[in-house]
Amino acid sequence: MTGLALAPVLTVAPNGAWAEGEGASPVHVSATLTPSLSHAARSGGRYYGAAARADHLRQDKALRAAILRDCEVLTPEIHLKWNSLEWRKGQFHFTPVDDLLAFADENGLRVRGHTLLWDQSTPDWAKHEMLDRRDWRLMSEHFSRVLGRYASRIDEWDVINEPIDTVSGAHALRRNTFFRAFGPTYIERAMEEARTHAPHAHLVINDYGFEYGNPVDKARRQAFVALARRLRAARVPLDGVGVQAHLDLSKGPIDRVGLQEMTKALIDLGLDITVTELDVKETEASASTPARDQKVADETRRYLDVMLAFPEVRGVVTWGLTDKFSWLTEQVDARVRADRGVNRGLPYDDAYSPKPMYWALEDTLRASA
Ligand code: XIL
């Protein structure tokens, strides 16, 4: 499929909330779009989506067009995180989430709720308060505020993000602020709390580091299954798991058998699975662009070949759509970036040409139908 050009599939409608930036009008997807990643995913009963930020959507007409062509689902990359919603205690920033939801609503996209609890995105004031007072009401109020406002429009939530740590954790749980304040059962309590405020939502625990053959990934796979087993046995409201799938070319071959065993064990517990943050971190930026792009595509294909053999894998979300806006590029400091350029680990390059990774996604999603 490599090298196929995308047909122009977008029509532009007059006026609307997205008419800012370069003076663009909102872009609506045409009914006959093909090929597209959503189209391919839907043929297998799945969805395809991408993470995005409201400010990027507003600025960049080409991003909006690519999202409307390819995505059925959007994940707010940062705006639902606690430190984005409430950087200072009591001062709330709902506008970016509301903007992203407005864009989604106008265009018939669904939104994944990412994420209610993540240590790294918990504001300092909340961490201090939690550790000082150990008062669960802080958590209830946060859940009630966010879910009270959004649960009627967002029906799938990463309630807890990244709870596993097999290297310096306790019983394989990360010693994060929640763990230190409330003990290991913060997990059960958070899931129950989410269920109280979102009775009909699909509730998920999301984590990373399951793909490779090294001892840490192996231990993480076992720990993830053990956690899920414990929660299901205790009838804690957990509907599914999210596997982030930040693939990494420096980590050697994907452990197909290990990945299959973990996925099957999770499915046997009655859970379904979402690939929530797929992208590919590169190692050698000195290789030619076609060689780099081929490696990224091959890694994507190897991963999805395993995962999409399971019908219970309900959707694939990439952590961005274009290399222009990728956290993998954000992470590289400016000096290294000048030398290495952007990371090429997403379906479109930074000028919105689909790369071999796009076709690997399209092909594996369609082939698994
Ligand atoms: C990242 C965003 O992409 C960055 O823009 C932000 O600065 C930090 O968070 N795992 C997750 C995501 O669950 O929320 C992270 O997103 C990437 C790693």
Q: For position 354, which CATH number holds?
A: 3.20.20.80
Domain-located, residue 162: yes
pLDDT, position 337: 59
Rounded Cα distance, 368 and 293, in Å: 23
Q: Is 275 in the pocket of ligand 1 (CB under 6 A)?
A: no
Contacts 24+ apart (CB under 8 A), 161-164: 161/114, 161/115, 161/117, 161/118, 161/121, 161/206, 161/207, 162/118, 162/119, 162/120, 162/206, 162/207, 162/208, 163/187, 163/205, 163/207, 163/227, 164/207, 164/209, 164/220, 164/223, 164/224, 164/227
Residue 14 is predicted with a pLDDT of 32
The answer to whether the CB of 310 falls within 8 A of the CB of 270 is no
Estimate to the nearest angstrom the gap between the alpha carbon of 187 and the chain centroid.
20
Q: Is the CB of 56 under 6 A from ligand 1?
A: no
- pLDDT recorded at residue 332: 64
Q: 286: which DSSP letter?
A: T
Residue with the smallest CA separation from ligand 1 atom 17 is 327
Instruction: Count up the domains in the chain and report the number.
Output: 1
Give 81 Cα–ligand 1 centroid separation in angstroms.
10
Q: Is 318's C-beta closer than 6 angstroms to any atom of ligand 1? A: no
**Residue 21 belongs to some domain of the structure:** no
Does ligand 1 lie within 6 Å of residue 293's CB atom?
A: no
With respect to residue 84, please indicate whether it lies within any of the assigned structural domains: yes
Query: Does residue 281 have its Cβ closer than 6 Å to ligand 1?
Result: no
Ligand 1: which of 77, 159, 326 to mutate, judged by most atoms within 8 Å of the beta carbon?
A: 77
Identify the pLDDT of residue 26. 40
Residue 149 lies in a domain: yes
- Name the DSSP letter for residue 118: -
Asked whether residue 23 is assigned to any structural domain, the reply reads no
- Nearest ligand 1 atom to alpha carbon 162: 13
Structure tokens at 236: 């804690």
Tokens of 166: 């097999």
| In-domain check, residue 3 | no
DSSP character for 354? B
Residue with CA at minimum distance from ligand 1 atom 3: 327
Measuring CA to CA, how many Å separate 121 from each of 106, 145, 161, 217? 29, 17, 10, 23
Distances (CA, A) of 10 to 18, 58, 96, 317: 15, 17, 25, 22
| Residue 22 within any structural domain of the chain | no
Nearest atom in ligand 1 to 319's CA: 3
Ligand 1 atom index nearest CA of 276: 13
Containing structural domain, residue 262 = 28-367
Question: Is the CB of 327 within 6 Å of ligand 1?
Answer: yes
Q: Does ligand 1 come within 6 angstroms of the Cβ of 276? A: no
CA-nearest residue for atom 16, ligand 1, is 77
Phi, psi torsion values for 123, nearest 5 degrees? -65, 150
What is the position in ligand 1's atom list of the atom closest to the CA of 114? 14
Assess contact for 308 and 318: CB atoms under 8 A. no
Q: Are 279 and 229 in contact (CB under 8 A)?
A: no
Question: What DSSP line would sit under 216-270, residue for residue?
Answer: HHHHHHHHHHHHHHHHHHTT----EEEE--EEEGGG-SB-HHHHHHHHHHHHHTT
Two tokens, residue 5:
């050009």
Q: Is 77 in the pocket of ligand 1 (CB under 6 A)?
A: yes
Structural domain contains residue 143: yes
Cα distance between residue 290 and residue 259, in whole Å? 28
The pLDDT tens digits along the chain (369 residues) read 333 334 333 333 333 344 433 433 344 444 344 689 999 999 999 999 999 999 999 999 999 999 999 999 999 999 999 999 999 999 999 999 999 999 999 999 999 999 999 999 999 999 999 999 999 999 999 999 999 999 999 999 999 999 999 999 999 999 999 999 999 999 999 999 999 999 999 999 999 999 999 999 999 999 999 999 999 999 999 999 999 999 999 999 999 999 999 999 999 999 999 999 999 999 877 899 999 999 999 999 999 999 999 999 999 999 999 999 999 987 766 555 555 668 999 999 999 999 999 999 999 999 887
Looking up tokens 């596997």, which residue turns up?
Answer: 243
CA–CA separation, 345 and 319 (whole Å): 9
Rounded to the nearest whole angstrom, what is the distance from the C-alpha of residue 296 to the centroid of ligand 1?
20
Q: List Cβ<8 Å contacts ≥24 apart for 144-150.
A: 144/197, 145/92, 146/80, 146/85, 146/113, 146/116, 147/116, 147/194, 147/197, 147/198, 147/201, 148/197, 149/94, 150/80, 150/97, 150/101, 150/113
